[in-house]
Amino acid sequence: MSVIQLDDVGLKFQVRRFGRISLKEYLLQGLFRRAKKATFEVQALEHIDLCVEEGDRLGIIGHNGAGKSTLLKLLAGIYPPSSGHRRVDGRVSALFDIALGFEHDASGWENICYRGFLQGETPRSIRAKMQPIADFSELGDFLNMSVRYYSAGMMVRLAFSIATAIEPEILIVDEVLAAGDLAFQTKAREKMKHLISRARAVIVVSHDLASLELMCDRVLWLDHGHVRQLGPAKEVIAAYTQEVSGGARQAA
Amino acid sequence: MTGYFSEIWRLRYFWMALVRIDLRNRYRRSVIGIGWSLLHPIAMTVVLCVVFSQLFRQDIRTFAPFLLSGLTLWGFITAVVMQGCQCFFVSESYIRQQRAPLAIYPLRTTLGAGFHFVLGFGIAAMLVWCVRGFGNPPVLLSLIPTLALLFVIGWSLAICAGVANVMFQDSQHLIEVLMQVLFYATPIIYRPEMLLERHPLMPWFVFLNPFAALLELIRKPLLDGVLPAPWAIDMSLALAVAAAAMAALALRRFEKRMIFYL
């Protein structure tokens, strides 16, 4: 029984040429058909077929702008597919843009609650997790302070600690391993390893090919929104490395 | 549909916490706390009382609670619509982070504004009670369904305004103008009776305005001690149904795509 199934999924972005569109513009456009179209489309993903089974650890690689993060957001249910079919069976926990989503006027403690509630916790269930989250973040007395005064690194620490406090069923990770200072990175990596070992399925985007090869059994190589190759981690990473270094040699 | 609501209910701790922090931030920032947010309707009431008591020979004792109740209700409608315009942008980082029904963000706006409304309305009620007492207290019970109705209308309007503003950037400006026009077209600072006698078409102007009906719904029991007229109940229900239908339609059509326009 597969946990995640994508059948011929495509995703088109409507990009607006001049930022956001106004109603006035929209109506004028309707009146005068000759008016230049204010939006154009970007095919971010096309013909993606993917099946993630119970116990799978899938890595996603590709150059910048290949659609890796978009694919993750689609899997997490944040972007709807514009064509094809997406089926996800289980609770998804996603770790991306994790420094976002804080109430700046609330303290660290309160933000732990809010994030927890958004992830579906109840006041009762979050109470037991508060202290471990606080301990893991190592923020100590700073947690009593309003998040407005946190440094970027402190926010990442807090966000990572909250997001990883729940036991995920399906874990989706977007390169968060580069979070915080060196000591925290090591700790975060340990925590990730632990989470990955417990989750029913894991999907990771990373440019760190060495750790991907260790972490994942399968790798998906994404190229301009298409699946270039999908197979055993070693094989795909080798092919990818060869192409990238080959391209570099050609350029030189 | 039920699935959508149960999802909203499942996340209740989240949006309730957000409402709580909105209220706290609003009150904590000022020395006089709660009084601060009520300053606007109260100051308006005082000024208008002074002016209108001279201009139209109104008795201050009845006119002051009339004004205050009207202004707080209008304050609620404006807050819901204007803050509703921004509600998705304010919550953008949550929307990008976790899949959740988008209706919870306008709900946050509505509950916050609703709290202020209840406070302001409470003060108006106290004013009435101090000045001349309630004529017929059991009639006040009719305010409970009215509150529920206001909640539905507020939430729906906030959703509509929010969606419109995400899809078209000049919506907020248009809505602002519309609200200003409605403020003068609605018997908020003047009595509907003042209009009714002036021109044969004026009654339609009042009776077809759903916001005038809402005002009638809260003012009649509070100020006159009688139940609101049937036309007011019908009009308010019609507004609630229409607004809710529009909100449902807007969400159905745009909810999934909104993420691309934030």
Residue ranges and CATH numbers for the domains of chain A are 2-90+200-251 (3.40.50.300)
pLDDT at B197: 76
Please tell me the distance in Å from A189's CA to the nearest CA on chain B.
21
Q: What is the pLDDT of residues A39-81, one digit of tens each?
A: 678 888 989 998 888 888 899 998 888 888 889 989 888 888 9
Mean pLDDT confidence for B233-249: 95
Please tell me the distance in Å from B174's CA to the nearest CA on chain A.
9
Neighbours of A221 (CB within 10 A): 23
Mean pLDDT confidence for B143-159: 96
Please tell me the distance in Å from A77's CA to the nearest CA on chain B.
6
User: What 3-state DSSP class applies to B197?
Assistant: coil
Please tell me the distance in Å from A203's CA to the nearest CA on chain B.
16
Mean pLDDT confidence for A24-29: 71
- The answer to which of A24-38, B4-18, B70-84, B201-215 has the lowest mean pLDDT is A24-38
Mean pLDDT confidence for B96-106: 90
Q: If you average pLDDT over each of A95-99, A148-152, B41-45, B174-178, which comes out highest?
A: B174-178
pLDDT at B244: 96
Q: How confident is the model at residue B131 (pLDDT cuts 50, 70, 90)?
A: confident
Q: What is the pLDDT of residues B154-167, one digit of tens each?
A: 999 999 999 999 98
Q: What ipTM, to 2 d.p.?
A: 0.80
pLDDT at B181: 93
Nearest beta carbon to residue A105 from set B25, B94, B168: B25
- The answer to which of A13-22, A95-104, B42-51, B187-196 has the lowest mean pLDDT is A13-22
Mean pLDDT confidence for B131-144: 84
- Which of A82, A114, A115, A156 to mutate: most B Cβ within 10 Å? A114
Beta bridge partner(s), residue A58? A203, A218
Q: How confident is the model at residue A26 (pLDDT cuts 50, 70, 90)?
A: confident
Q: Which residues, 6+ apart, have CB-to-CB distance to B224 below 8 Å? A: B135
Q: Which residues of A touch B174 (CB under 8 A)?
A: 23
Q: Which residues of A touch B95 (CB under 8 A)?
A: 78
Q: How confident is the model at residue B13 (pLDDT cuts 50, 70, 90)?
A: very high
* Cβ <8 Å between B21 and A106: yes
pLDDT at A64: 86
Nearest beta carbon to residue A77 from set B14, B94, B99: B99
Q: What is the pLDDT of residues B110-129, one digit of tens each?
A: 999 999 899 889 888 988 88
Mean pLDDT confidence for B223-244: 93
- As a whole number of angstroms, the distance between CA B41 and CA B104 comes to 28
Please tell me the distance in Å from A235's CA to the nearest CA on chain B.
33
Q: Which residues of B touch A110 (CB under 8 A)?
A: 17, 21
Q: Which residues, 6+ apart, have CB-to-CB distance to B24 below 8 Å? A: none
Torsion of Cα atoms, A230 then A233 then A238 then A239, to 10°: 0
Beta bridge partner(s), residue A59? A204, A219
Q: What is the pLDDT of residues A120-157, one digit of tens each?
A: 888 998 888 889 999 988 888 999 998 889 888 888 88
Residue type, B262: L
Q: Judging by beta carbons within 10 Å of its beta carbon (0-12, 13-18, 19+), is residue B204 exposed, middle or buried?
A: exposed
Query: Quick one: chain A helix, strand, coil %, rounded to 5?
Result: 45, 30, 30
pLDDT at B165: 92
Whose CA is closest to B81, among B200, B207, B172? B172
**pLDDT surpasses 90 at A179:** no
Beta bridge partner(s), residue A221? A61, A229
Q: What is the pLDDT of residues A232-241, one digit of tens each?
A: 989 999 999 8
Q: How confident is the model at residue B260 (pLDDT cuts 50, 70, 90)?
A: confident
- The answer to which of B147-151, B171-175, B255-259 has the lowest mean pLDDT is B255-259
- Which of B96, B98, B165, B258 to mutate: most A Cβ within 10 Å? B98
Mean of pLDDT over chain A: 83
Beta bridge partner(s), residue A203? A58, A172
Query: What DSSP element (H or E) covers A39?
Result: strand A39-53
Tokens matching residue A68: 């890796």
Residues of B with CB under 8 A from a CB of A: 10-11, 13-14, 17-18, 21, 25, 93-100, 167-171, 174, 256-257, 259-261
